[in-house]
Amino acid sequence: MADYEPVGEFGSAEWCEACGKAGAKMLQDANLPADTAWGFTENYLYPPERMLAGGREKAAFYFMVKDGVCSGGDGAPEECLALDGFHIEAVWGSICSQSRAIYDSSKQRGADEAVMYKDIMEYVGRKELWQKGKGGSAKSMNWPPLIGAAVTVGPGFHNIAASMQMPSPEYEDLPLTEMLVPIFSEMTDEQKKSFLNLLRIEL
């Protein structure tokens, strides 16, 4: 997408700021009813240390609409988290690579991710990959029709965010699907151990 250039790695301050602003603009352009109150936050768990340089507390971004004002940027402010909407925490390493894929439907990405997790479960010998509360969570996943329509205009919010994402070195030599999902079964033993460490999954 020529209108959007890579600005930073997944979860970086630059990328999160750009994504938050882009999401807010899509809400603004939708001319939502004045009483609309909705928020979006994504907080990435266990990001590489470089993502938290300069005293940054978390790798996260948000966008929201409240009292007729649309806003967004880096971080996950309490004002946004308090709103009904889409609020998740996800392990950075588990979704970083494939978040850069451009697509019309996330169906194939989801299928590839299911295979990745199945292979990891078989490798570590258990279904619970993280201790309770350590592998991410979904506080809310509510997409009202007007909001859903707003963030799917044109290329859609996901593809805008993906087009602004730079590659991360952790995935440079890993086998990946067309959707850029890591292929765990095709990794070397060293790659598997490194990838599990990135995801904070204990053997």
Res. 87 pLDDT band, cuts 50 70 90: very high
Is the pLDDT at 2 greater than 70, yes or no? no
pLDDT (tens digit per residue) in 32-60: 999 999 999 999 999 999 999 999 999 99
User: Tens digits of per-residue pLDDT, 140-151?
Assistant: 899 999 999 999
In a domain, 35, yes or no: yes
Report the pLDDT averaged over residues 126-142: 91
* Tokens 């007729």, residue located: 68
Is residue 191, in this structure, part of any structural domain at all?
no
**What mean pLDDT is predicted for residues 130-145?**
91
Q: Are 40 and 64 in contact (CB under 8 A)?
A: yes
Distances 39 to 13, 131, 154, 164 between C-alpha atoms, Å = 19, 28, 21, 21
In a domain, 197, yes or no: no
Range of weakest confidence among 82-91, 93-102, 135-144, 194-203:
135-144
The range of the structural domain enclosing residue 156 comes to 8-106+131-169
Tell me how many domains the chain contains: 1
Position 174 in a domain: no
In a domain, 155, yes or no: yes
Is 184 inside any structural domain? no
Provide the pLDDT confidence category of residue 132 given band limits of 50, 70 and 90: confident
Mean pLDDT of the chain: 96
Angstrom CA distances, 41 to 102, 136, 171, 190, 193, stand at 21, 13, 25, 34, 30
Identify whether the C-beta of residue 32 lies closer than 8 Å to the C-beta of residue 190. no
Instruction: Classify residue 178: in a domain, yes or no.
Output: no
**Tens digits of per-residue pLDDT, 150-189?**
999 999 999 999 999 999 999 999 999 999 999 999 999 9
- Tell me if 201 is assigned to some domain: no
What is the reported pTM? 0.95
Identify the CA nearest to 4 among candidates 19, 152, 12, 147: 19
